Structure 1
Amino acid sequence: MFQASLCFLCLLIVEGLRFGLDKYKISLVSFDQSNKTGVWDVSSMRLIGRERLLNGTATLHEDLDDTHWSFLTELYSDFARDGHYKPLPFNTPQSSVCEAYKNYRKYFSKQAKFGKQTDFPLDRDLCPIPKGTYFFKDIALNANDFPTTMQRGYVRGNGSFFYDNVHVGTYTWTLLLEDED
């Protein structure tokens, strides 16, 4: 009896440790900017096809450096998929743009191959981030470098830029997290 109970307990522990660790996929649902005159112009970016691949160009109107620019991200969830988004407890605090780029670039650097899918310098840390028009081609997100314990459903992020601590633009993206087939 003790041996059977111990086996059952081990099975529960193993299954419990696996809970939430199933692989999931991420799909881009939407991408937009709240101000059409922001530091980034993403108005020509499109999500193409059933796979919702990111395509187009984005223009950075001026160099982003730590002298004037800062950035913060707020995350919201709609795990019930009913349109009611609730704040998530893990947001990125307002920090200098170069610090934010250095700290969070690792989550996005493997999403697009530099030189083939984009010419935006996701492959290296740099400051200032140089102004210019950058192309993005057939970019799909994958969850390989994202946290494994994410609840499925919609996640919305608002990335806000500040110039000398004055809000100058918000960029919003919505993602759908689903179990892999």
Structure 2
Amino acid sequence: MLKYIVIVLLTVIPKSLLQVTMSYEAIFVSVTSSENAQPIDISNLRLIGRQRILNGTFEILEDVDDTNYQLSVDIYSNAARDGNYKLIPLRVSRQGICTIFKKYGFYLKDCIKNGINTDLHINTTSCLFPKGRYYLKNVTLNVQNWPKIMQRGLCRHVGTFYKYDVPVGTLNVTSSIEDRAPNVFGM
């Protein structure tokens, strides 16, 4: 009987831990880039409605891979929501774009999916972001793969693109992180 209980606990507990909902949720506040930023033009992306759903088209201006483009990401926090962002001691150091995609892409894998809400397909073996115009449709932030503990407030990710070691543009994504509303009706 004890063996049966142990087997049940070893199979049920890990599954339930993986299905735990996060204590917070996140929505987009803004998505902007510097003027004439390379290698991507996001000027036709818009945030729609109260849910701040990302929609529109973006253009990759030339084929992008690790040989020609690098990216670094600085992260800022503003818990008071007063516009006074503080650089936090967590960053992604400058690396090839494909390298960063392979290391950190899982944070976005539930947000942006080829064939569902984008037509951008990334070949993970050769890792090339091909030149072209692509769409994003009904993109929201899914925090299921994010860290269990996140500071509440505004969070800004500032990505700086480099082409052959020269900065060529920035991409700013600001999100709002809030406690998840309690589910009083058990739904």
Q: Same fold (TM over 0.5)?
A: yes
Shift of 1:113: 3.0
Instruction: Decide which moves more: 105-114 or 121-130.
Output: 121-130
Instruction: Give the conservation status (yes or no) of the 8 Å contact 1:101–1:125.
Output: no
Q: Secondary structure at the match of 1:157?
A: strand
Q: Deviations over 1:117-176 (max 9, x none)?
A: 111236956422211111000111021000011110000111111000000000111100
Q: Could you tell me which amino acid in structure 2 is paired with residue 94 of structure 1? A: R
Separation in 2 of the partners of 1:145 and 1:71?
21
1:113 counterpart residue number: 113
2:136 counterpart residue number: 136
Separation in 2 of the partners of 1:139 and 1:22?
19
Separation in 2 of the partners of 1:96 and 1:22?
31
Instruction: Give the conservation status (yes or no) of the 8 Å contact 2:65–2:98.
Output: yes
1:81 counterpart residue number: 81
Q: Secondary structure at the match of 1:88?
A: strand
1:10 counterpart residue number: none
Pairing of 1:8-27 with structure 2 (within 5 A): 23-27=23-27
Root mean square deviation, CA, Å: 1.7
Instruction: Using structure 2 for the length normalisation, give the TM-score.
Output: 0.81
Instruction: Using structure 1 for the length normalisation, give the TM-score.
Output: 0.84
Instruction: Give the conservation status (yes or no) of the 8 Å contact 2:46–2:55.
Output: yes
Q: Deviations over 1:54-108 (max 9, x none)?
A: 0000100111122221101000000111111000111000001110111111111
| Moved >3 Å (runs of 4+) | 122-126
Q: Does 1:35 align with 2:35?
A: yes
Kindly tell me the number of residue pairs found equivalent between the two proteins: 161
Q: Does 1:91 align with 2:91?
A: yes
Q: Could you tell me which amino acid in structure 2 is paired with residue 26 of structure 1? A: A
Q: Deviations over 1:27-59 (max 9, x none)?
A: 100010112352101000000011000000010
Separation in 2 of the partners of 1:88 and 1:123?
33
Q: Which runs of 5+ in 1 are unaligned?
A: 1-20
Q: Which runs of 5+ in 2 are unaligned?
A: 1-20, 182-187
Separation in 2 of the partners of 1:27 and 1:123?
28
Separation in 1 of the partners of 2:116 and 2:124?
15
Separation in 1 of the partners of 2:91 and 2:125?
21
